[in-house]
Chains A and B, each alone.
Chain A
Amino acid sequence: MSHDHSLNPETMPQEPEKATLEGRNKFLGLWFFLGGETVLFASFFGTYLALRNSTAGGPASTDIFGLGLVFAMTMILLTSSLTSVYAMYHMKNNDFKKMMLWLGITGLLGISFLALEIYEFAHYIIDYEFTFRSSAFGSAFYTLVGFHGGHVLFGITWLIALMVRNAKRGLNLYNAPKFYTFSLYWHFIDVVWVFIFTVVYLMGRVG
């Protein structure tokens, strides 16, 4: 099967991401990687849960966490998950332009999420003097949420590289798996965030 020619609706296989051996390998490789990432984040979550009350006299979770900002961040990231679903929907219908449009929206939502997170961290540091070094709770909080933010940043960079590289080439069996694996990764970031807003922020408010 040729890699180099763009697909037209007649040659489009049902699942372009898994039509080649390379595609299947990438698909499985990323899924397995996510299996490992599950343990990675579990270790961060476990550390956070063990240390969440170790405030050493500094600010505690009930003092600093507000719900409004977190709710906005959650909605943004959840929506970006849906937009990447739309992108994959258009990929399967071989509509390259619409796919790129929805991927672009996904990226923008990701960037606004990151911006809010940076604002949030700055807010804690400046207004509450709650830092990475103020207590074991601080270290665990910034590490857990920061690693998630790092994953978002990596995802955005990945997405930009993919979009720029393939802007003029259209969809083919060589790059379809790349788009698809990106979307899997992006959903996983969302999964982690669901646990972060539940375990860190909501449970932190409850005390």
Chain B
Amino acid sequence: MTENTNTNHVDSFQKRKNKDEMKKQLISFALMIGFTIIAFIAVASDAMDQMFIVPLILILALVQVGFQFYYFMHMKDKGHEMPAAMIYGGVWAALLTIAALVLIVWW
């Protein structure tokens, strides 16, 4: 009931804040789509050397995931210290695991 904003003691400040937040999220969504398209084009066009493509698409993925976590999942907001700690803990263990399986699997 968005038209009720001026009556009924609805906290119009809060509503405005939610709206601003939504605008930011739309921008992050647009950027995410953009990154995705760049990554797909980079691979499909064969224009670049694969030495560059792999790091490029990995960086694009990381930035995109950052948007997901910080904007879509609100990790930038206060009250998310513990979630952030646990996610970064998980990421640390994840990096170790992937590094192990990529670098020191012995054939």
Asked whether A and B interact, the reply is yes
Known: A42-B94, A206-B54. A191 touches B15 (CB 8 A): no
- Tell me the dominant secondary structure on chain B's binding face: helix
Query: Is the CB–CB distance between A71 and B40 below 8 Å?
Result: yes
Q: Which residue of A lies closest to B42 (CB)?
A: A202
Q: Would you list 25 pairs from A and B whose C-beta atoms are within 8 A, ordered by A residue?
A: A9-B10, A10-B8, A28-B83, A31-B80, A31-B82, A35-B87, A35-B89, A37-B90, A39-B93, A39-B94, A46-B102, A75-B33, A78-B33, A78-B36, A82-B25, A85-B29, A190-B72, A194-B64, A194-B65, A195-B65, A197-B36, A202-B53, A203-B54, A205-B44, A207-B50
Query: Is the CB–CB distance between A50 and B68 below 8 Å?
Result: no
- Tell me the dominant secondary structure on chain A's binding face: helix
Q: Which residue of B lies closest to A34 (CB)?
A: B87
Counting chain A CB atoms within 10 Å of each CB, the highest count among B15, B25, B40, B60 belongs to: B40
Counting chain B CB atoms within 10 Å of each CB, the highest count among A42, A86, A190 belongs to: A42
Residues of chain A with a CB closer than 8 A to B33's CB: 75, 78
Query: Is the CB–CB distance between B72 and A85 below 8 Å?
Result: yes
Residues of chain B with a CB closer than 8 A to A10's CB: 8-10
Interface size class of A (residues with CB under 8 A): 35 or more
Query: Is the CB–CB distance between B86 and A35 below 8 Å?
Result: yes
Q: Which residue of B lies closest to A86 (CB)?
A: B22
Q: How far is the CA of A206 from the CA of B44 in the complex (A)?
A: 9
Taking A43-B101, A46-B97, A49-B102 as known contacts, 10 extra A-B pairs with beta carbons closer than 8 A to each other, sorted by chain A number, are A9-B1, A36-B90, A38-B87, A39-B93, A39-B97, A49-B98, A50-B105, A67-B40, A190-B68, A195-B65
Residues of chain A with a CB closer than 8 A to B61's CB: 194-195, 198-199
Residue A131 interfacial (CB < 8 Å): no
Within 8 A of B (CB), among A170-207: 184, 187-188, 190-191, 194-195, 197-199, 202-203, 205-207
| Chain B 28-70 per-residue mask, 1 if CB under 8 angstroms from chain A, else 0 | 0100110010011001100000100110011011001100110
Within 8 A of B (CB), among A1-55: 9-10, 14, 18, 28, 31-32, 34-39, 41-43, 45-47, 49-50
Q: Which residue of B lies closest to A185 (CB)?
A: B73
Q: How far is the CA of A194 from the CA of B47 in the complex (A)?
A: 22
Q: CB < 8 Å: which of B50, B53, B83, B101 contacts A50? A: B101
**A interface residues (Cβ-Cβ under 8 A, vs B):** 9-10, 14, 18, 28, 31-32, 34-39, 41-43, 45-47, 49-50, 67, 71, 74-75, 78, 81-82, 85-86, 89, 92-93, 95, 184, 187-188, 190-191, 194-195, 197-199, 202-203, 205-207
Q: How far is the CA of A86 from the CA of B95 in the complex (A)?
A: 32
Known: A14-B14, A75-B33, A184-B73. A31 touches B1 (CB 8 A): no
